[in-house]
Amino acid sequence: MVVTKDMLIGDILDAAPSTAPFFLEMGMHCLGCPSARGESIADACEVHDVDVNVLIEKINKHLSGLE
């Protein structure tokens, strides 16, 4: 799986629950709420003032180590 900025957070968490700490680290502490799960990574990063490219790189690096 390769994560992109347009993917929904809920879809990523369903496919790879081990990515949750990356979202928590950026200040997104409501991962279970419907609005958070329906946001794209890009939208969440904008709201939380996080560089989307840095987050995607971290998540994809993590996921590549799992496969």
For 21-65, write each residue's pLDDT tens digit.
Answer: 999 998 887 777 777 888 999 999 998 899 999 999 999 999 998
Fold exhibited by the domain 9-66: SP0561-like (1.10.3910)
Residue 66 is predicted with a pLDDT of 66
pLDDT score of 67 more than 60 = no
Pairs from 58-62 (Cβ < 8 Å, separation ≥ 24): 58/22, 59/3, 59/12, 59/19, 59/22, 60/2, 60/3, 62/18, 62/19, 62/22
